[in-house]
Structure 1
């Protein structure tokens, strides 16, 4: 490659960066973080201010990044900090800061300047840019980290904050990321919800001022407001068109994201741990590491951004993201709290009969002095209930093995009922204000995970189960309470509580994974209350919602899929909703399949369908879990919902189609346009997952080019008598 035409000094600076260090021999140093399609570009000026000068499509010639700023003729930046890469407060800044401090001498100002940077290639696809900033006067340092994933167009950003002053320094705000985007207008797609109605999308145009997305719940922090969001530039992005940024914080506690349009009409995004009631004190020599904020940018609409994140999650973040998953039968809706060994023995036989891999024993198996016969007592007392299970969990694990299936169990180890032996013995282990009345969420309180003794106790719950039952094959980890009256009996600085609680949780999960690295665990939190990549690195899957009505789940799973891959979504067939068993099963197959039904109550034809559907699912699940996902027909915009999962080589796919509007004579009147295919390939489409005794209306012998299917489309023939249609797409060679 001929590089002789490049300006020598600028080339030297950029080339040195790619070798892993920066050599600045001009007035400005440019630090580009490039992925396959995008670039996030930092610039150091002559006064050592670090700014973000660009976030967008990658330029062919990297030396041209220095010319970007001159093309904008906007109003004056009186501060010189509007596009700061990490905006400090208290000096000349006039907008929302990323960091606010009080120094050891009481000074509230901060002036961070560039010191050095380095770029390290972690492997062929992943690089880490490290940039050190330091206050001009105080011995106070912030190190910014930008971890880029080349193929997936994803960047993770976080920082460490360290001080070496002569006394304690208080952090009043300590964000993970500070982005700066330029556009004509900005459209925010955020989410809201509550129990059983998670992930409700809401899109609006951002106006001047600050829009804040946040949570102050402590645990199950995503209950009302998930931390994930989308921002479209210039116009609302569609599935396949428009420039859109997806973002989310990898943190399982209180979060805060500020979106501010400044006086230059640019958008600033600042995201991190919520500083609400969380001023954090650093002693000399101490440092705080913030959680990662992840983002991906797409210029081809929301579908491309979602495939970026899904691929990134499977490759790098989700536990065992490239592995397999267990299908299961859960006893919850079959028995609730009312069961014994005989009932469970029958359900274990049903597990084998149904054809799934594992039986999951849900809530209600523990507690003796305060039996867990409802949600008002027993939580925290993790001994088998002798009346229900006189021979303990061990006998059930053995029974499962003899039936040729695996055994899993439900726990909620972070919580406690006031009516429990644990509460009687250790009231100091409970999160509560000593001078306030206790206030309960679902008849329970939260254990204080800032306390190392409580961390040992929670780890011991899991470790004890596996020590006694080495063949235990699955954990469902629930978390149903939020934090009221936040206070720790042992924590010296109560303003550290919300941060230290989550760090304590992660310490427990790290210990569990160090000892039991491969055991599948479901992340459950009253449904979708704790779904984020901070937690999902320890879990193989998550529970989207306690609402398992399949019609509702189509909408929820649609929205979750923008940020999380199908292999991570636990979807169960239950008795919620009025749809037939086929509809319920088809919807649950769009992820990790499970059942929560009374198998013995199924009509013979329904049982036969389920058995055959599980076999069919096992044949195509790798396509669903690892394939590229294309949303074909949006249930909020059409009477039909349609979703395609397609293998990377574009040879095989599975298409799920549902009628979501049951008004008179509604059906798939028009063909559904397919996406992602090879235009030159020939395909055939056959219907699978048919109910026993029914025949398909689809001509499986007919062939189509990818070009035809993407331009004209294919009609799945969805109507009132065919409300759910699953199709298999195969290349004809």
Structure 2
């Protein structure tokens, strides 16, 4: 069994293939964390289950290690749960009441129930074990068993206690529009390091994931503790170090401007928070998270298609004839999915009007969408289309008819971002409108792909017609409603793939990935910039989920010039897309690009389903290299990128990973053969030269 309970010592042990997670019930009836690391016998942790104090000002220090921290009495660290009672009392005194071990969907699950000593409130802590990936999926369910409302002021998903380390290094990602998923790390000193979003969605400025090590872990080795939160609204992860050198990471729904009224007999479930430990460094951490997404999170196991998106070719100047001309050239490239972006609907001739009016613009498409869709299908491609259902332009029929459908405060002006306001999708009539027009769109047309965009943060979060004392529920209700809409659409149209996009990479998390087949990590398609964006993305999320475009030789973002080969190699490391204006491409460029598309289709199983290794041995030489290996280690593909050569020096050899040491391998582009251990220890030659050079090696086991 992966979950054990020692009755004598009152200790719970969660055992995965390589790790142990151990906690117990102390003498005061509280859950106290004891150990998280390499596999261990639970009985060895029994002496750790004790209470201790430092002074009258620092009593019950063991509460810092509480499995789920209830605010009240002597708790001064970041709480997991904080409530207000109907009589003005504002603390909790929760004790363990019972536990049960169940099997759910083939996985073992531990549920521990805690009850308040004086009030009718229960907390059910859930631990689901993914033993083969050394992961634990945690969440909490709060149940009001009484007759009065309870105000939930702070409801977190889990707290993760990190074992003693001489130093604690926190690794996370930060960014902004056009610069998402930039890796950062910092040594934690006493106090709190808070990662969060208050913008209404996951946000590009931070992503709900963390990793902690002792400052010396690398890609290939070292102890790493990590976690990722499955929530697409406002979130918060707090890494707190105490004066006693204890670190706990607490995460869940952001408590800023947020409350939830829990009525009599009602319950509230937090988002899940998956956590893990590995001794194999950041690379193994990523591979475990990637496999978890493939096996337990994403809705489809189908390979993602090579797509073309017409946005950069036409922007808002969309019409049937130009789109059909683009489709013909896209088909010559070998594209499998043709996607029409913004501008096909309403009076959408620019970003100042039409958003919200989801009917086909008959001036642009006099015969409707069917003419284009039929053309795309005759060319052997699927058809996809862009929508932004959560937003509305003030200059639209929808807004003129329903100005009260947007979030707003009645005494304030309505702030526009990108000339847009945000619909209050929690209103039943708004939710119904979105489901209705999306159902009509997908029922009347043979559409295989939806790009769901969201280009606006939540501001002035007032909910008309919602009770005044419950206005702070807006942040949670928006995310819940979004999930309900996506779930309904996926059930009605299981053949349609969905891409999540929000102002670049602002809505990417394990919550939306239960419904989304792929993500848009950034509006920045500069092939060099994308290397760092894609690297940070890969720390948490699987390559298959990352849409990468090939765009023009001169980047619109930086005016940097890169070769076609470099641009394709950069974009082939995820789900390949093309976003250039193909009408301006020569026949020679089309034919050359078609060769790269054929290459990608051949290596797609490796990229989209293989194990990814970030090869960092040559970073100091300005080389970025990524390797993908199939599960049998019989085939691999390597991408390498040189930023700039200096002083005429050749590059050292690149050491590979993940191969079978005693098997012989051949590189398609080079003569000869090498053993796996030679490739992993001596390395392979990299004939990269000059500035912004790249290569792709296909390597196969010899028969």
Contact 1:75 1:264 in 2 (8 A): no
Write the mapping of 1:558-707 to structure 2, written as runs, cut at 5 A. Answer: 558-575=535-552, 576=555, 577-633=560-616, 637-661=620-644, 665=648, 669-687=651-669, 699=670, 701-707=671-677
> Partner of 1:302 in structure 2?
282
Query: Distance in 2 between the 1:461 and 1:238 partners?
Result: 49
Label 1:105 to 1:666 Cα distance change in 2 as closer, same or farther (>3 A): farther
In structure 1, C-alpha distance between the alignment counterparts of 2:619 and 2:141, rounded to whole Å: 42
Match of 1:180 among 161, 172, 177: 161
2:180 is matched with 198
**Residue 486 of structure 2 aligns with which residue?**
509
Superimposed CA distance per residue, residues 194-226 of structure 1 (whole angstroms, 9 cap, x where no aligned partner):
11011112211001111111111013x312222
Is the 2:6–2:12 Cα contact (8 Å) retained in structure 1? no
User: In the aligned structure 2, how far is the partner of 1:264 from the partner of 1:337?
Assistant: 59
User: Is 2:198 the counterpart of 1:228?
Assistant: no
Measure the CA separation in 2 of the matches of 1:23 and 1:652.
Answer: 46
Query: SS where residue 66 of structure 1 aligns?
Result: helix
1:432 has 2:432 as partner? no
- Deviation string, structure 1 residues 106-135 (Cα, Å, up to 9, x no partner): 1112011111111223355x3211111111
Distance 2:108 2:2 in 1: 15
* 1:445 paired residue number: 421
Is the CA contact (8 Å cut-off) linking 1:635 and 1:660 kept in structure 2? Answer: no
Tell me, yes or no, if the aligned pair for 1:128 and 1:146 is still in contact at 8 Å.
Answer: yes
Contact in 1 for aligned 2:652/2:686 (Cα 8 Å):
no
Structure 1 residues 74, 711: closer, same or farther in 2, change over 3 A? farther
The reply on whether 1:536 has 2:513 as its aligned counterpart is yes
State the Cα deviation string for residues 55-97 of structure 1 (Å, max 9, x = none).
11121x3432324558x99957622411111111122212221
In the other structure, the counterpart of 1:463 is 439
Q: Return the alpha-carbon distance in structure 2 between the equivalents of residues 707 and 634 of structure 1.
A: 16
User: Would the aligned equivalents of 1:98 and 1:175 in 2 still touch at CA under 8 Å?
Assistant: yes
Does the 8 Å contact 2:144/2:266 carry over to 1?
yes
Q: Which residue of 1 aligns with 2:66?
A: 84
Residue 107 (structure 1) aligns with: 89
Query: How many Å separate the matches in 2 of 1:664 and 1:456?
Result: 64
State the partner residue of 1:333. 312
Runs (4 or more) in structure 1 with deviation over 4 Å come to: 15-18, 67-70, 72-77
Q: Say what the alpha-carbon RMSD is for the aligned residues.
A: 1.9
- Which one of the candidate residues 334, 342, 349 is aligned to 1:363? 342
**2:232 is aligned with 1:260:** no
Contact preservation (8 Å) 2:181, 2:204: no
Determine the structure 2 residue equivalent to 1:52: 33
Separation in structure 2 between the aligned mates of residue 424 and residue 189 of structure 1, nearest angstrom:
47
1:680–1:707 contact (8 Å) kept in structure 2:
yes
Return 601-610 or 163-172, whichever deviates more: 601-610
Change over 3 Å in CA distance of 1:310–1:705 after alignment to 2: same
Between the aligned partners of 2:2 and 2:99, the Cα distance in structure 1 is 11
Matched, 1:727 2:697: yes
Residue number in structure 2 paired with 1:693? none
CA, structure 1 residues 17+157, in 2 after alignment: closer, same or farther (shift >3 Å)? closer
Asked if structure 2 preserves the Cα contact closer than 8 Å seen for 1:491 and 1:497, the reply is no
- Alpha-carbon distance, 1:366 to partner: 0.6
Matched, 1:548 2:525: yes
- Structure 1 residue matching 2:366: 3-state secondary structure: coil
Q: For 1:373 and 1:619, how far apart are their aligned partners in 2?
A: 40
**Of residues 661, 668, 688 in structure 2, which corresponds to 1:718?**
688
Which of these residues, 44, 50, 55, is aligned with residue 64 of structure 1?
A: 44
Q: Per-residue deviation at 1:287?
A: 1.0
Q: Deviations over 1:550-576 (max 9, x none)?
A: 000011101101111111010111112
Q: Aligned to 1:353, which of 326, 332, 335?
A: 332
Distance (Å, rounded) in 2 between the aligned partners of 1:447 and 1:198: 26
Does structure 1 residue 375 correspond to structure 2 residue 355? no
1:376-455 alignment runs, 5 A limit: 376-455=352-431
Q: Post-superposition shift, 1:165?
A: 2.8
Going from structure 1 to structure 2, the CA distance change for 1:570 and 1:427 (only over 3 Å counts) comes to same
Do the aligned residues in 2 keep the contact of 1:310 with 1:563 (CA within 8 Å)? yes
Residue pair 1:104, 1:166 contacting (<8 A) in 2 also:
no
Distance in 1 separating the partners of 2:149 and 2:645: 64
For 1:213-263, what per-residue CA distance to the aligned partner results, in whole angstroms no more than 9, with x for missing partners?
1111013x312222222211x224211122112222111110011111123
Select the residue among 230, 238, 261 that pairs with 1:250. Answer: 230
Specify every segment of 5 or more residues in structure 1 that has no aligned partner in the other structure, as ranges. 1-14, 688-698
Inter-partner Cα distance in structure 2 for 1:55 and 1:423: 53
SS at match of 1:377: coil
Q: How far apart, CA to CA, are the structure 2 residues paired with 1:290 and 1:636?
A: 40
Q: Higher mean Cα deviation, 253-262 or 113-122?
A: 113-122
Is residue 2:293 matched to residue 1:313?
A: yes
Tell me, what secondary structure is at the counterpart of 1:315?
helix
How far is 1:721 from its partner? 7.4
C-alpha distance in 2, partners of 1:296/1:518?
33
The match for 2:108 among 120, 127, 131 is 127
String of CA shifts for 1:295-354, please: whole Å, max 9, x gaps.
Answer: 22111110010000001111110221x321111111111111113111111112112111
Query: 1:606 offset after TM fit, Å?
Result: 2.3
Mapped partners of 1:203, 1:393: distance in 2: 49
- The SS at the match of 1:306 is helix
